[in-house]
Amino acid sequence: MDRRHFVQAGMSSVLLPGAVISLSAAASSAIPAAQDYFFVDDRFAAGALQGGTISPSLAPIRVQADVTPVWTGLLAGGHIEAPLALRGVTTESFFFCLKTLLGRQVHDSQISRIGHDLHLWTIRTRNGMTT
C-alpha cells in the first residue's frame, strides 16, 4: 500500500455524512471574525463556487496544494491569542497537513468529500497559537 492510499484509508474513517450542511454553522459560532479563516484551493473552479456559498461573508484565502505559505505567513507566528476557526474547500492533503501542524491545539475537526478532488473541512483550536 502506498502512502497516498494509506492516508486516504485513515482519513475515510473521519468522514461524516451530512457534514457539508453542518460545518459552516458549527465553525463560526464562538470566535471573533478576525480569528476566522476560510481557505479555497484556486486550482479548482468548483472550490471557488462552493466557497462563495459556504462562507459568503468571509473573503477566502486562495491557496494551492502547499500549506507552507499559510503556516509560515499566517498561523505559526505565535501572534494569535484567540481560538481559531479554520474552514476550507481544498484537497484532503491540505487539511491533513494543516491539522498535523496544529497538533495538540486542535479541539475539533471535520471533513467531508464534496467532489473528486475537493473536501469541505473545519478545524477549531482550543486556544491561540503559542510558540
| The pLDDT value given to residue 123 | 94
Q: How many domains does the chain have?
A: 1
Average pLDDT over residues 114-122: 90
At residue 126, the pLDDT reads 83
For residue 79, what pLDDT band results from cuts at 50, 70 and 90? low
Mean pLDDT, residues 26-54: 66
Residue 69 or 30, more confident: 69
State the Cα–Cα distance between residues 17 and 112, nearest whole angstrom: 7
Q: Is residue 131 part of a domain?
A: no
* Residue 130 in domain: no
Backbone angles phi, psi at 118, to 5 degrees: -105, 145
CA-nearest of 8, 24, 20, 17 to 92 is: 8
**Chain mean pLDDT for the chain:** 73
Q: Which domain holds residue 97?
A: 3-125
Q: What pTM did the predictor assign?
A: 0.66
DSSP one-letter string for 18-35: THHHHHHHHHSSSS-GGG
Torsion of CA 19, 20, 25, 27, to 10 degrees: 70
